[in-house]
Amino acid sequence: MTTATIATATPYPYSFDLSRTALVIIDMQRDFVEPGGFGETLGNDVSLLQSIIPAVAAMLAGWRRAGGLVIHTREAHAPDLHDCPPPKRLRGAPSLRIGDKGPMGRILIAGEPGNDIVPELAPIEGEWVIDKPGKGAFYATRLHERLQAAGITHLLFMGVTTEVCVQTSMREANDRGYECLIVEDGTASYFPEFHKAALAMMTAQGGIVGWSATSGMVLKEL
């Protein structure tokens, strides 16, 4: 077992063994990140999310070279929406709702073009792809059981958005006993102030949810 330590992580050094650590990339889907997708129809500036693709791609490439486990998630519902609670679909007044026909197919429906991960970060053979019907990666999935079977104890998180699906997944993981780190420049929000606040909340009080570090800090230790 070889342990790496990110000495400059917040709030204090973070140590991990690559063989027991997974890189989790949350919801880097076309509908959230690309122009013309669901995120943009909600009135958001998707360029804020697109800006992290180079950092995520660099981390992903480095992690693959090191031989670490990679997990991709997609927020995805069944075509008949049986796994989408009505309050989730009907909340607010968007121009398009989950299941509606959008510029890249039906919104957040498994198998539709907009539900795919952006090409720059596309999964390769051997990487896990988790379709999740909720914000968190552990809700209504078998992710926890699969991680336990693989001997994983540490998780590094990237993806979008910081304060919603990434933070929810990291909090779920923390409650299940995983030692978690969020990659600061590998996650983003449509609202930059929410990104900053989420990072602060998760690392406060001695790392109440976990640690944070930049992609450069992680790659240096790989």
Q: Cα(first)–Cα(last) distance of the chain, in Å? A: 14
- Each residue's pLDDT tens digit, 113-171: 999 999 999 999 999 999 999 999 999 999 999 999 999 999 999 999 999 999 999 99
- Please name the helix (run of DSSP H) or strand (run of DSSP E) that holds residue 208, with its range, or none: none
Task: Say whether pTM exceeds 0.85.
Answer: yes
For the segment 20-26, the average pLDDT, to the nearest whole number, is 98
Running DSSP on this structure, what letter comes out for residue 166? I
Count of residues making up the chain:
222
Residue 14 has pLDDT above 80, yes or no: yes
pLDDT on residue 1: 55
E strand spans, 7-142: 14-17, 21-26, 69-75, 101-102, 105-106, 128-132
Catalytic residues: 27, 132, 165
> Locate tokens 């998760």: which residue?
202
Q: Residue 48: name the closest of 160, 190, 198 by CA.
A: 190
Q: Hey, what are 102's tokens?
A: 């959008």
pLDDT on residue 149: 98
- 16 has which bridge partners? 4
pLDDT on residue 142: 98
pLDDT on residue 80: 98
pLDDT on residue 6: 98
